[in-house]
């Protein structure tokens, strides 16, 4: 075999190895129970804000510390600690995707994605009523 063929085969083998490794890192949405079982591993947890419990954010004391409570898709409620500023219109979010890990009974999150209500929702309802 030529040296170029051998080098090409090695490069292809390395590329396949990298792809297989990356596929194992793709995560799905999990629950707090799953995150608690594998404490220290990072997960994506989807849930809704628990509006009955208080949120704590004091930008004067620490602008990068925000805590609140979330119900996951199984209904389990956990305290979430976010190391960052409170997102704008946080209370209006329909659902939250939290990226982080369990530490004890708290979920420590480093990223929050919010699904906000559609600004077109009221227009769709109004249009639906006109067609009746």
Q: What is the pLDDT of residue 77?
A: 93
Domain count, the chain: 1
Q: Is residue 4 part of a domain?
A: no
In sequence order, which residues have a C-beta less than 8 Å from that of residue 78 and are 6 or more positions away?
Answer: 32, 69, 70, 72, 105, 106, 107
CB atoms within 10 A of CB 50: 16
Residue pLDDT, tens place only, 90-118: 888 889 999 999 998 899 999 999 987 76
Residue pLDDT, tens place only, 36-90: 888 878 889 999 999 899 999 988 898 889 999 999 989 999 999 999 888 888 8
Q: What is the pTM of this model?
A: 0.68
Q: Is residue 6 part of a domain?
A: no
Q: What is the pLDDT of residue 22?
A: 67
CATH number of the domain within which 111 lies: 2.40.50.140
Q: How far apart are CA 109 and CA 21, in angstroms?
A: 24
Residue 25 tokens read as 């890192």
Q: Is residue 126 part of a domain?
A: no
Q: Is residue 23 part of a domain?
A: no
Residue 119 tokens read as 């600004």
């Amino acid at each position: 075999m030529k040296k170029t063929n051998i080098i090409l085969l090695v490069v292809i083998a390395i590329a396949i190895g990298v792809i297989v490794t990356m596929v194992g890192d793709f995560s799905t949405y999990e629950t707090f129970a799953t995150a608690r079982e594998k404490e220290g591993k990072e997960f994506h947890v989807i849930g809704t804000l628990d509006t009955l419990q208080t949120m704590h954010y004091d930008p004067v004391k620490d602008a990068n510390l925000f805590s609140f409570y979330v119900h996951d898709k199984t209904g389990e409620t956990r305290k979430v600690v976010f190391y960052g500023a409170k997102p704008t219109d946080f209370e209006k979010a329909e659902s939250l995707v939290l990226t982080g890990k369990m530490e004890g009974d708290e979920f420590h999150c480093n990223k929050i994605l919010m699904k906000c209500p559609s600004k077109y929702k009221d227009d769709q309802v109004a249009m639906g009523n006109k067609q009746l």
